[in-house]
A and B are shown apart, each in its own frame.
Chain A
Amino acid sequence: EIVLTQSPATLSLSPGERATLSCRANQSVSRFLAWYQQHVGQAPRLLIYDASNRATGIPARFSGSGSGTDFTLTISSLEPEDFAVYYCQQRKNWPPLTFGGGTKVEIK
């Protein structure tokens, strides 16, 4: 099973700042990695798929990069609605499809 480790667990930033979130896999997932955003009490929302492709309707301030075992989600300038929990997910080797433990982006 592929294990995804996200860091940091919590990121405290102010609106307008840049957010950099990390996801590391215990073995290569090539570029088969996605990022999701989840607000409290809401369903997840797909942001990025295959490491760097923005999903439909996702603003350009969200970008993904990486390959192999190390991936990054960058939010170039945080908007108030971006404060949420972010999860990475791999589809390289499944079942099972696996998610990282999440990074919470909170208002500083």
Chain B
Amino acid sequence: EVQLVESGGGLVQPGGSLRLSCAASGFSFRTYWMSWGRQAPGKGLEWVANIKQDGSEKYYVDSLKGRFTISRDNAKNSLYLQMNSLRAEDTAVYYCARGMNGYEEYYDFWGQGTLVTVSS
């Protein structure tokens, strides 16, 4: 069974940093593109970033470039999101998602999400 379990969310002050993790199981993690998305409270979905199977390609939404960094460790079946200089508008549930095989920009499995709250 495919499982994606996010962790690392919590309350952080404006300007602070947080590192999210996503533990993957039930599939060959190293063969899939992976992504982070987010959803602000009561709002819609927003794509954040994605990363190729071997980590050689990474793409971000423009508004987050320079502050957020996506990475992966295939030996640990894990995906990460390093978030720096956090702002109130970064408050959201952050989801880890798997790119569908052959259609990598569609997401066929999502984790349950981890809540990040940026507030003083």
Chain A proximity mask over B12-43: 1 for CB below 8 Å, otherwise 0: 00000000000000000000000000000000
- Which residues of chain A have C-beta atoms less than 8 A from B50's C-beta? 97
Interface residues on A, range: 20 to 34
Identify B113's interface contact among A34, A43, A87, CB under 8 A.
Answer: A43
- When distances are taken between beta carbons in the complex, the residues of chain A under 8 Å from B112 are 42-43
State the majority secondary structure of interface residues on A.
Answer: loop
Main secondary structure on chain B at its contact with chain A? strand
Chain B interface residue bracket vs A: 20 to 34
Q: Given A46-B100, A95-B59, A98-B47, A56–B108 Cβ distance below 8 Å? A: yes
Contact with B along A36-76 (1 / 0, CB 8 A): 10100011111001100001100000000000000000000
Quick one: given A46-B100, A99-B47, are A91 and B61 in contact (CB under 8 Å)? no
Tell me if B55 is interfacial: C-beta within 8 Å of chain A. no
Contact A49 B103 (CB under 8 A): yes
B44 to chain A, nearest CB (A): 5
Residue in contact with B44 in the complex, picked from A45, A49, A94, A100, CB distance below 8 Å: A100
Cross-chain contact A101 with B62 (CB below 8 angstroms)? no
Contacts of B108 in A (CB 8 A): 46, 55-56
The answer to whether A87 touches B106 (Cβ under 8 A) is: no
- List B residues at the A interface (Cβ < 8 Å): 44-47, 50, 59-62, 95, 97, 100, 103, 105-108, 110-113
9 example contacts (A-B, Cβ-Cβ < 8 A) are as follows A43-B110, A43-B112, A44-B107, A50-B103, A87-B45, A95-B61, A100-B44, A102-B44, A102-B45
